[in-house]
Structure 1
Amino acid sequence: MENRVEERLKQLGIVLPTAGNPAASYTNYVIVNGLMFVSGKGPAGHPKGKLGQEYTTSEGQYFARLAGIEVLAVLKDALGSLDHVRRVVKIQGFVNAAPDFEEHHKVLDGCSDLMLDVFGEKGVHARSVLGAVSVRDNLPIIVDSIFEVRV
Structure 2
Amino acid sequence: MNEKPNHFMSKLKELEITLYPPPLPGGTYDSVNIRNHVAFVAIQFPIRADQYLYVGRLGNKLSSKEGYQAAQLAAKNILSQIHQYVGFEKVAGLNHLDIYYQAHEDWDEGPFVADGASELFLKVLEEKGRHTRSIFGVHKLPRNFCVGITASFSLIS
TM-score band w.r.t. shorter chain:
over 0.9
> How many angstroms apart in 2 are the aligned matches of 1:52 and 1:73?
28
Q: Percent identity?
A: 28
Residues 134 and 122 (structure 1 numbering): CA distance in 2 closer, same or farther, change over 3 Å? same
The residue aligned with 1:75 is 82
Unpaired stretches in structure 2, ≥5 consecutive residues: none
Residues 117 and 97 (structure 1 numbering): CA distance in 2 closer, same or farther, change over 3 Å? same
The residue aligned with 1:17 is 20
Maintained 8 Å contact 2:57/2:102: yes
28, 33, 37: which one aligns with 1:34: 37
Q: How does 1:109-124 map to 2 (within 5 A)?
A: 109-124=115-130
85, 99, 105: which one aligns with 1:93: 99
1:105 partner letter: P
Q: Tell me whether 1:131 sits opposite 2:134 in the alignment.
A: no
> How many angstroms apart in 1 are the aligned matches of 2:31 and 2:81?
7
Q: What do residues 1-23 of structure 1 show as CA deviations (whole Å, max 9, x unaligned)?
A: 86101110000111111111101
Runs of 4+ in 1 over 4 A off after TM superposition: none
Question: How many residues align structurally?
Answer: 150
> How many angstroms apart in 1 are the aligned matches of 2:52 and 2:127?
30
Q: What do residues 74-132 of structure 1 show as CA deviations (whole Å, max 9, x unaligned)?
A: 000112x3122110100111001111111111101000000000011110100010111
1:9 partner letter: L
- What TM-score do you get using the length of structure 2 for normalisation? 0.91
> How many angstroms apart in 2 are the aligned matches of 1:2 and 1:41?
23
Maintained 8 Å contact 2:97/2:131: yes
1:115 partner letter: F
Unpaired stretches in structure 1, ≥5 consecutive residues: none
Q: CA RMSD in A?
A: 1.3
> How many angstroms apart in 1 are the aligned matches of 2:5 and 2:92?
18
Maintained 8 Å contact 1:87/1:122: yes
> How many angstroms apart in 1 are the aligned matches of 2:5 and 2:116?
26
2:149 partner letter: V
2:44 partner letter: K
